[in-house]
Amino acid sequence: MTLLYDCFDSPIGRLTIAGDGVGLRHILFAQNRHDAKGRAHWQRDADALAEPRRQLLDYLAGRRDHFELVLAPVGTEFQLQVWWALADIPFGSTWSYAQLAGHIGRPGASRAVGAANGRNPLPIVLPCHRVIGASGALTGFGGGLPIKVALLTLEGVPVADAALPDLFD
């Protein structure tokens, strides 16, 4: 299947978004822990993805706290359950992996929830950046910890690690 994509600059670096007639399937940072497969078959079409681009840029400019997009992530049944649950984490809040596992009715699955969270193909919109360790540690993030810090800071979440750069300066 051919996906349409667009690349654009943002306050947190270059973003690539991809989707099709079903919905938005990928949001990629300049550096990703897990890249999207099949990118050689993608076709650039900025017009087809104008609305997701606009909403992402509005969020990153502090003008939006939620998204109104049709999403179409592809994953296992468990991954999809975790990814859809991310949308339940309120703007400006964080949950631990254990809270997220409890939210989906799998309280003993914190590690599996963490693995699914790390494979989220729609970061920012399905806000995996809002998931932190039980101790309050930021833990990993597919786009890198500086971007996680920037997103949490944008949402007004106090971040303890001031040694990381402020990407919105």
**Which residues are tagged catalytic?**
128
| Residues in contact with 31: Cβ distance below 8 Å, sequence separation at least 6, in sequence order | 143, 144
Q: Look-up: residue for tokens 């681009």? A: 53
Q: What are phi and psi of 16, to 5 degrees?
A: -120, 130
The span from the CA of 53 to the CA of 6, in Å, is: 8
Q: What share of the chain is helix, strand, coil (3-state, %, to 5)?
A: 35, 15, 55
Angle, helices 110-118 vs 77-86, to 10°: value is 80
From CA 134, how far away is CA 97, in angstroms rounded?
Answer: 7
Query: In terms of Cα–Cα distance, which of 136, 163, 166 is closest to 153?
Result: 166
Asked if 67 and 59 count as a contact pair (C-beta separation under 8 A), the reply is: yes
